[in-house]
């Protein structure tokens, strides 16, 4: 047992990685799904153990193959990445029970083995990016997760052929982003001679004026900015989320961009630290305006969408704006909001895209005209959309409120009261697009020719409602999440100065 | 000035290739050519890494009894990984282009966008009628 517990960090990544090829050998529809489900639950259990261990006894450092860092690859788990690991594996653990019927409906039955293989590889990549303590290793895992994400998105081609062009555009932009990241890592390696993140942080400290370090910083931030869909580098996101199979959208929208945010946080605070002049400047002059533009342009674009998946995809661009805004505030409250919103946004968007998947299962496409009058026929699904929508707006007693509360606290702490007002104003835009759906579903008249529609099956409603209840539970009892997020923010700002 | 440029000529080559690659990705409408541009862009990064592993007067890092200066082998190893990633990306990109060609009948971005716009208009008209 002690031998096993010693190797927990590597099991987090190794188990999904090794079961992925196994999954491609399985035939049929049920077996690959069962394997993916078992692996996801296992990964979730491991990430809970890791978080408990980190909260109790501090950081864990695992030496891959027993090569001591900084020469060998180190897996390093502290509070922040234990928290992000929990988000990724938790979403996956909830999304997979939901996946079976939805994937059976949307993906070619002969391709399920390959589909779940790509899914497991994507999970591996995302977990790997988060857990590793080696900068080049981040790139490798990032590419594992991205390549499998392109495949997963293209799997939506059976429903709509635009999934292919969406996946292609994402591939081009994602590769440019990852390559920028690797250029940045190369420049840092050139100056410091190390790839281990903890070691890098130490060696970079006396080199703040070095041009190569500054260029490396810029390349890393731009590269990861592309991956996290920071405005105006978000153009790949709406189509990718719209045309991917529902389960894939649930999983990617809740996890993929969050992991990129984590990498940005890691480099901003652990490696560089806001004490460097050029890092502090990016907060106020780059992150702040881009975050505010994202909040408004994302939400405004969402209002004008007729495809509901695309509507929530644009809303994701706006929500990522809130996450970046928290970084830009640069104080403990702001950073707490960023870390909290990683978790909270995963809950809201997970629930919303799951609900849209339920609608897609029953009526095919999810357009605003298509859902007219559906509120009476699919009461549970649309009640879930309403609940998660309230959370998206940030109504008190939902998780969305907690995130925005900390954001506004952070803005006031800097006495940037116009920013605080803008946060409230952009929430009003969210009211408009959520109301648009509610109005169509509850007050609209069903389009002619649509027969009676049945409620979604329980197998899909149960995970959906689990997410909705979590939206309210963590909104009312926010002690657990805020204490973790506050601890993360304190470590980041403490280590930087 | 000129000396500095000549002394670092491989870095200039890297930047030159990087910009060519990026320019092709941005400017070409042909989906295959975009992938070619992406490849050139990635290759420039391989060269960057190989260049920074070179130590003046260093030899290949093979175990000997004599004390010698070695070139840094680590960037080569990293770039082997990056080459594999590049190959996988190219393969997946081309696979997608094949599928796009099968369903749209074209690999020109403009044609595909026109097809998609026409589809959108039909959908809007159906919704209105």
Judged by a CB distance cut-off of 8 A, whether residue A212 touches chain B is no
pLDDT at A479: 85
Mutating which of A177, A186, A192 best tests the B interface, going by the most B Cβ atoms within 10 A? Answer: A186
pLDDT above 90 as % of chain A: 67
How far, in Å, are A238, A348, A382 from residue A352 at the CA level? 15, 6, 10
Residues of A in contact with B92 (CB under 8 A): 147, 150-151, 171
Q: Give the separation between CA B98 and CA B96, rounded to whole angstroms.
A: 5
Give the nearest chain B residue to A184 (CA atoms).
Answer: B45
Question: CA-based diameter of chain A, in Å?
Answer: 71
- What lies within 8 Å, CB to CB, of A133 at 6+ separation is A61, A69, A73, A74, A75, A76, A196, A197, A198
Average pLDDT, chain A: 91
Å between B65 CA and nearest CA of chain A: 23
Interval B103-125: pLDDT, tens: 999 999 999 999 988 888 887 77
Residues of B in contact with A117 (CB under 8 A): none
Give the nearest chain A residue to B50 (CA atoms).
Answer: A186
Q: For residue A485, how far is the Cα from the chain centroid? A: 16
Question: How would residue A197 be classed by pLDDT, with cut points 50, 70 and 90?
Answer: very high
- In this structure, what are the phi and psi dihedrals at residue A371, rounded to the nearest 5 degrees? -90, 5
Of the options 3.40.50.2300, 1.10.287.3510, 3.40.50.300, 3.40.1390.10, the CATH number for the domain spanning B2-128: 1.10.287.3510
Question: How would residue A208 be classed by pLDDT, with cut points 50, 70 and 90?
Answer: confident
Record: contact A171-B92, CB cut-off 8 A: yes
Judged by a CB distance cut-off of 8 A, whether residue B31 touches chain A is yes
Lowest mean pLDDT among A56-60, A138-142, A154-158, A213-217: A56-60
A62, two tokens: 């695992």
pLDDT at A496: 43
DSSP structure string for chain B: -HHHHHHTHHHHHHHHHHHHHHHHHHH--BHHHHHHHHHHHHHHHHHHHHHHH--TT-B-----SS---B---HHHHHHHHHHHHHHHHHHHHHHHHHHHHHHHS--BHHHHHHHHHHHHHHHHHHHH-
Å between A390 CA and nearest CA of chain B: 28
How confident is the model over A241-268, as a mean pLDDT? 94
Lowest mean pLDDT among A269-273, A278-282, A417-421: A278-282
Lowest mean pLDDT among A39-48, A263-272, A442-451: A442-451
Give the nearest chain B residue to A155 (CA atoms).
Answer: B96
Pick from A157, A165, A175: CB nearest B89:
A175
pLDDT at A66: 85
Give the nearest chain A residue to B36 (CA atoms).
Answer: A172
pLDDT at A250: 95
pLDDT at A218: 92
Report the range out of A63-72, A141-150, B47-56 with the highest average pLDDT. Answer: A141-150
Judged by a CB distance cut-off of 8 A, whether residue B92 touches chain A is yes
Interval A325-335: pLDDT, tens: 999 998 899 99
How confident is the model over A337-345, as a mean pLDDT? 93
Judged by a CB distance cut-off of 8 A, whether residue A149 touches chain B is no
Record: contact A151-B92, CB cut-off 8 A: yes
Interval B82-108: pLDDT, tens: 999 999 999 999 999 999 999 999 999
- Chains A and B form CB pairs within 8 A to the count of 72
Q: Give the separation between CA A274 and CA A271, rounded to whole angstroms.
A: 10
Does the structure show a pLDDT above 80 at B126? Answer: no
Residues of B in contact with A150 (CB under 8 A): 92, 96
Does the structure show a pLDDT above 80 at B24? Answer: yes
Give the nearest chain A residue to B102 (CA atoms).
Answer: A161
How confident is the model over A458-470, as a mean pLDDT? 94
Question: How would residue A497 be classed by pLDDT, with cut points 50, 70 and 90?
Answer: very low
Å between A297 CA and nearest CA of chain B: 22
Judged by a CB distance cut-off of 8 A, whether residue B49 touches chain A is yes
Judged by a CB distance cut-off of 8 A, whether residue A369 touches chain B is yes
Interval A426-456: pLDDT, tens: 999 999 999 999 999 999 888 877 778 888 8
pLDDT above 70 as % of chain A: 99
pLDDT at B3: 83
Judged by a CB distance cut-off of 8 A, whether residue A168 touches chain B is yes
pLDDT at B129: 60
Residues of B in contact with A165 (CB under 8 A): 100, 104, 112, 116
Judged by a CB distance cut-off of 8 A, whether residue A176 touches chain B is yes
Q: Which residue has the higher pLDDT, B101 or A27?
A: B101
Per-domain boundaries in chain B: 2-128
Judged by a CB distance cut-off of 8 A, whether residue A139 touches chain B is yes
User: What pTM was computed for the model?
Assistant: 0.93
pLDDT at A343: 93
Query: Between vectors from CA A234 to CA A230 and to CA A239, what angle results, nearest 5°?
Result: 150
Mutating which of A158, A172, A450 best tests the B interface, going by the most B Cβ atoms within 10 A? Answer: A172
């Amino acid at each position: 047992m002690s031998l096993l517990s010693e190797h927990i960090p590597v099991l987090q990544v190794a188990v999904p990685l090794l079961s992925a090829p196994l999954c491609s050998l399985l035939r049929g529809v049920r077996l690959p799904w069962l394997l993916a489900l078992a692996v996801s639950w296992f990964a979730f259990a491991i990430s809970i153990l890791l978080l408990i261990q980190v909260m109790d006894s501090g950081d864990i450092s695992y030496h891959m193959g027993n090569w001591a860092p900084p020469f060998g690859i180190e897996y390093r788990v502290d509070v922040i990445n234990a928290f992000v690991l929990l988000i990724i594996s938790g979403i996956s653990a909830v999304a997979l029970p939901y996946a079976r019927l939805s994937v059976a409906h949307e993906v070619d039955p002969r391709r399920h083995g390959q589909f779940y293989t790509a899914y497991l590889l994507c999970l591996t990549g995302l977990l790997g990016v988060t857990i590793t303590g080696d900068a080049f290793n981040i790139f490798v895992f990032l590419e594992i997760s991205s390549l499998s994400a392109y495949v997963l998105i293209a799997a939506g081609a059976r429903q709509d052929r635009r999934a292919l062009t969406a996946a292609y555009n994402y591939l081009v932009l994602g590769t440019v982003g990852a390559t920028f990241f690797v250029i940045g890592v190369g420049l840092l390696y050139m100056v410091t001679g190390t790839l281990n993140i903890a070691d890098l942080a130490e060696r970079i400290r006396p080199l703040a004026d070095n041009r190569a370090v500054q260029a490396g910083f810029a390349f890393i931030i731009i590269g990861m900015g592309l991956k996290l869909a920071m405005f105006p580098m978000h153009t790949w996101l709406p189509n990718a989320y719209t045309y991917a199979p529902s389960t894939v959208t649930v999983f990617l929208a809740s996890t993929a961009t969050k992991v990129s945010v984590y990498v940005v946080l890691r480099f901003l605070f652990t490696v560089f630290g806001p004490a460097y002049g050029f890092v502090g400047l990016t907060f106020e002059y780059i992150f702040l305006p881009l975050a505010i533009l994202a909040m408004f342009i994302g939400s405004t674009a969402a209002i004008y969408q007729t495809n509901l998946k695309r509507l929530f995809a644009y809303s994701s661009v706006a929500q990522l704006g809130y996450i970046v805004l928290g970084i830009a505030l640069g104080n403990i409250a702001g950073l707490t909001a960023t870390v909290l919103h990683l978790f909270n946004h995963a809950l809201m968007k997970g629930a919303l895209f799951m609900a849209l998947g339920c609608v897609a299962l029953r009526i095919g496409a999810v357009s605003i005209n298509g859902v007219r009058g559906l509120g009476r026929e699919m009461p549970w699904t649309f009640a879930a959309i309403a609940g998660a929508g309230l959370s998206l707006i940030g109504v008190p007693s939902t998780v969305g409120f907690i995130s925005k509360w900390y954001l506004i606290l952070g803005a006031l702490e800097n006495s940037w009261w116009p920013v605080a007002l803008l946060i409230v104003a952009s929430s009003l835009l969210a009211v408009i697009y959520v109301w648009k759906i509610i109005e169509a579903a509850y007050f609209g008249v069903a389009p002619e020719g649509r027969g009676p529609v049945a409620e979604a099956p329980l197998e899909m409603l149960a995970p959906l409602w689990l997410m909705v209840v979590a939206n309210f539970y963590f909104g009312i009892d926010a002690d657990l999440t805020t204490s973790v997020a506050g601890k993360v923010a304190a470590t980041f700002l403490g280590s930087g100065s | 000035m000129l000396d500095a440029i000549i002394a670092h000529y491989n870095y200039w080559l890297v930047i030159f290739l990087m910009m060519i690659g990026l320019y092709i990705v941005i400017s070409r409408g042909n989906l295959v050519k975009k992938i070619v541009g992406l490849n050139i862009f990635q290759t420039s990064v391989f060269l960057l890494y190989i260049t920074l592993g070179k130590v003046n007067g260093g030899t290949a890092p093979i175990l000997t009894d004599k004390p010698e200066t070695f070139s840094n082998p680590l960037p080569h190893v990293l770039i082997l990984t990056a080459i594999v990633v590049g190959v996988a990306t190219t393969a997946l990109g081309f696979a997608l282009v094949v599928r796009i060609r099968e369903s749209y009948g074209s690999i020109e971005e403009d044609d595909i966008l026109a097809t998609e716009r026409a589809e959108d208009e039909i959908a809007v008209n159906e919704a209105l009628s």
